[in-house]
């Protein structure tokens, strides 16, 4: 789908959807506690969340054969559930779309090779087979915290004690804190060590009380629009949340001031598109997003896509090996840009349209469904003028 957005500010109050990161974790905990996964009290819904829910149902039904788990494009679903599937069913066949199977899984594979667990990729399918055993799990912390979370969910199910030993500093620590919060809520004991985590075995998931929080990573786009002049009020955010992307509030405060700003996004890489569009419209000021190398491993190479697409609209951004340099301009001109099939790039461009002089056309706008299915409806409810058009290439595929 292509959307064409006429210039204009947004206005009103908006509540972001439930945190996708938290919803994945709550779903897994509910499944491991034997609870109903279709409880309407849990509002989170997106392509990624549906993938996790469907995969968990497949795991429940997989007795006697390897379950087939359709992960869509969700890296969280894949990485969280690989060790869970090994612990519960002796493995599974994981299927993905887009770039999912190209995203790194080597931290798991190195462990599996030492345990006799087999793994084989064929196209968009990854088959893992074997059983997790209690023991020591060396794990790099600088590839993705999702590997640590996957093990933290699975290791309590084993018979004996295990240790996750971090071999490099843990990035995106806030996401692991969110996992630990969910585990504690379910009665799961995990001891933090200077070099990692000790996880006793033989544990059972109990009932929990944690509810869904509004998502800071999605709120970032509305906050960016507000910082660019739209009179928006973002509601429902918990100031004491364990969400790592909560730092977006202080980062936008820095961007609101004068002078050169350097923002370290090692712990919050998903904020890069929202931060970049805000920084792109600080006339005469420079900002740099540093420690941004992991952006290359997302739904697209975001480190390349962010400057490519904002520059099409009149921005002045430069891609580095692991940073983005952003020279603020007075205004954007409008033009045609592409989402790269990445939900966060599409939403970034929608925010850019609020400060463009001409129409902004976004190809691949349907990609927002990955995390924010009603984004365009919410955008319009806030006064955004959006014209939708199905793309010719989409029609040909039907």
How distant is the alpha carbon of residue 18 from its chain centre? 13
64: which 2 tokens?
């006697």
Q: Taking the chain, what is the end-to-end CA distance rounded to the nearest angstrom?
A: 13
Residue with tokens 């709550």: 26
Q: Which tokens belong to 358?
A: 């001409």
- Identified catalytic residue from 270, 338, 342, 374: 270
- Kindly state the DSSP code that residue 66 receives in the 8-state scheme: P
* Whether 342 is catalytic: no
**Helix, strand, coil content of the chain in percent (nearest 5):** 40, 20, 40
Task: Report the alpha-carbon angle 153-158-162, nearest 5.
Answer: 80
Structure letter (DSSP) for residue 368:
G
Compute the C-alpha angle 280/314/262, nearest 5°: 20
Q: Count of H helices and E strands in the chain? A: 13, 18
Residues 6+ apart with CB under 8 A from 226: 232, 233, 234
108 three-class SS: helix
Cα–Cα nearest to 27, from 72, 66, 64, 77: 77
CA angle 21, 220, 238 (to 5 degrees): 60
Which positions are catalytic?
270
């Amino acid at each position: 789908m292509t959307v064409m957005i006429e210039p204009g500010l947004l206005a009103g109050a908006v509540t972001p959807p439930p945190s996708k990161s938290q919803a994945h974790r709550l779903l897994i905990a509910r499944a491991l506690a034997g609870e109903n996964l279709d409880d309407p009290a849990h509002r989170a819904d997106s392509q990624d969340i549906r993938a996790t829910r469907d995969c968990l149902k497949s795991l429940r039904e997989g007795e006697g054969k390897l379950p087939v788990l359709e992960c869509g494009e969700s890296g969280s679903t894949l990485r969280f559930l690989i060790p869970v599937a090994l612990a519960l069913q002796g493995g599974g066949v994981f299927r993905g779309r887009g770039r999912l199977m190209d995203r790194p899984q080597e931290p798991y594979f190195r462990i599996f090779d030492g345990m006799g667990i087999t793994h084989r990729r064929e196209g968009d399918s990854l088959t893992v087979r074997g059983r997790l055993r209690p023991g020591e799990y060396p794990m790099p912390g600088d590839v993705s915290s999702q590997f640590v979370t996957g093990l933290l969910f699975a290791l309590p199910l084993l018979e004996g004690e295990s240790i996750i030993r971090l071999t490099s500093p843990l990035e995106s620590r806030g996401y692991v804190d969110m996992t630990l919060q969910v585990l504690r809520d379910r009665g799961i004991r995990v001891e933090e060590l200077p070099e990692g985590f000790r996880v006793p075995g033989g544990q059972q998931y109990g009932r929990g009380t944690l509810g869904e929080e509004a998502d800071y990573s999605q709120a970032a786009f509305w906050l960016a629009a507000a910082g660019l002049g739209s009179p928006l009020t973002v509601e429902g955010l918990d100031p004491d949340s364990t969400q790592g992307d909560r730092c977006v509030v202080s980062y936008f405060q820095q961007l609101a001031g004068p002078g050169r700003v350097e923002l370290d996004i090692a712990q919050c890489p998903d904020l890069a598109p929202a931060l970049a569009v805000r920084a792109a419209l600080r006339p005469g000021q420079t900002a740099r997003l540093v420690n941004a190398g992991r952006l290359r491993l997302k739904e697209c190479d975001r480190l390349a896509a962010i400057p490519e697409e904002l520059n099409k609209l009149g921005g002045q951004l430069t891609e580095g090996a692991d940073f983005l340099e952003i020279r603020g301009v007075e205004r954007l001109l409008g033009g045609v840009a592409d989402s790269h099939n990445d939900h966060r790039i599409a939403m970034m461009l929608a925010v850019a349209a609020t400060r463009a002089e001409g129409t902004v056309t976004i190809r691949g706008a349907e990609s927002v469904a990955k995390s924010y299915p009603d984004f365009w409806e919410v955008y319009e409810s806030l006064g955004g003028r959006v014209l939708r058009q199905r793309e010719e290439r989409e029609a040909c595929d039907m």
